[in-house]
Amino acid sequence: MSPNYRTGWGPHLTYSLDNARSLAGVLLILAVCWLVSENRKRFPFLLTLGALLVQAGLVLALFALPDSEPVLKAVSGAVDGLASATDRGTQFVFGYLGGGDQPYALAHDSAPLPFLFGFRVLPLILVISALSALLWHWKILKWITQGFGFLFQRSMGLTGPSALAVAANIFMGMVESPIVIRAYLDRLTRSELFLMMVVGLATVAGSTMVAYAVILGPTLPNAAGHVLVASIISAPAGILLARIMIPEENGGAHLEPGDELKYQSSMDAVTRGVQDGVMVAVNVAAMLMVFVAFVWIINNMLALAPDFDGGPLTLQRIFGFVFAPVAYLIGLPWSESQTGGAVLGSKLFLTEFIAYIELGAIPADALSERSRMILTYALCGFANVASVGIMTGGMTVLMPGRRDEIFALAWKSLLPGFLATLMAAAVVAALPAGLFGSR
């Protein structure tokens, strides 16, 4: 049956072989984690069913319900408002570099203002980091986190500390979220520690979530809604794959009243939020400069090699060839799988920021809206080589007594962390395209 996504527009839901192939991709991801499991006899069948239902349910709740459109518009409006407010602050400090009035005439009157990543995207991280800290102090974000924690605890059988840490990972970074359960870190079982690592790599922080939406906004409708849902539904996927690889043997720790993330006042929350945001922004900027330089060096070396398959050999093309089958399995048509494979490789070996920038730069006629949406979910996680180092550095500071255990589990968590975002993408791709209005 030939896929026809235009007939899936609006209420006319169609299903095709591309959707069915995505289900096969989900099964293959589960099989890979089971093959490397420490206890293959304890496959969590009920947890698998619960994770898939939670993922599909969350996606349908935001995109399929009759009243979901206002929610999407509200999310997009909130992101646009935050971006606009951030631009005002950036322009006040940096002037025209932040998008303000130009001190000179542009080459063409109709030319858009230059988009400088360092002055238009990185400041968003500062604003969202400060806002997140303030909302936590006002208990708004805390209540939302506890709500998701209750959902994961009831639907997926997590204990209190693990459920709360997993929920916090949806909105905070992989280093910041363990602070929420700092009083329980030494009591976490090996399986719970591994689970926290995997979910940390499978999700993204709220401070970077908005930045991704801004990058993708010009090329993907409802980009903000997709990025938000992507981070949320990758959490249950991370829980499932972590439990398959290292099943829980001892029942886990239990949540009791104790220390938690606290701020002395609203001003203290804003101040510490800005300080944390500066660390994240500097880290993102440094990683981007270094890895882009590495790519440039490698591509210059590859230029000495003869042309391959009708074009010069580059790192991006190598990623495309290697990861094309992966992109195909999660739902992209084969004609676009090499393009999708290139950004998947960039996400794993470089950073998701570079991958999102590359995705946003792909011309509209080179990648369908549906494929762009699927890749948005597949890229929405911190699972990359550089993030493993960041995660181990932060966790060893919080848990110095478990240093050896953290290093032993860190690299092992990269595989399920990466596969969790692929699984989230495959679940979305398995649903009828008409739910999202994508072509």
**Across the chain, what does the average pLDDT equal?**
79
Q: For residue 293, is pLDDT > 80?
A: yes
CA-closest candidate to residue 121, choices 95, 144, 149, 99:
99
CB 233 within 8 A of CB 94: no
- Return the closest-CA partner of residue 374 out of 333, 325, 317: 333
What pLDDT digit, counting tens, does each position of 399-423 carry? 888 888 988 898 899 999 999 999 9
pLDDT confidence of residue 365: 83
Rounded to 10 degrees, what is the CA torsion of 312, 318, 324, 327?
-120
| pLDDT tens per residue, range 16-34 | 677 788 889 999 999 999 9
Query: Residues 132-167, buried b or exposed e (16+ Cβ, 10 A)?
Result: bbbbbbeeebbeebbebbebbbebbbbbbbbbbbbb
Q: Which tokens is 219 given?
A: 């090329």
For the packed helices 369-379 and 403-430, what is the interaxial angle rounded to 10 degrees?
160
Backbone conformation region of residue 402, classed left if phi is above 0, alpha if psi is from -120 to 50, else beta: alpha
Q: 305-353, pLDDT tens digit by residue?
A: 887 777 788 888 888 889 999 999 998 999 999 999 999 999 988 888 8
Q: Please name the residues in contact with 13: beta carbons below 8 A apart, sequence gap of 6 or more.
A: 432, 434, 435
Q: What's 11's DSSP letter?
A: T
Q: For the residues of 277-300, what is the DSSP string, one character each?
A: HHHHHHHHHHHHHHHHHHHHHHHH
Residue 158 pLDDT > 70, yes or no?
yes
Question: CA–CA separation, 275 vs 406, rounded Å?
Answer: 26
Q: Which residues contact 280 (CB under 8 A, 6 or more apart)?
A: 125, 129, 173, 205, 207, 208
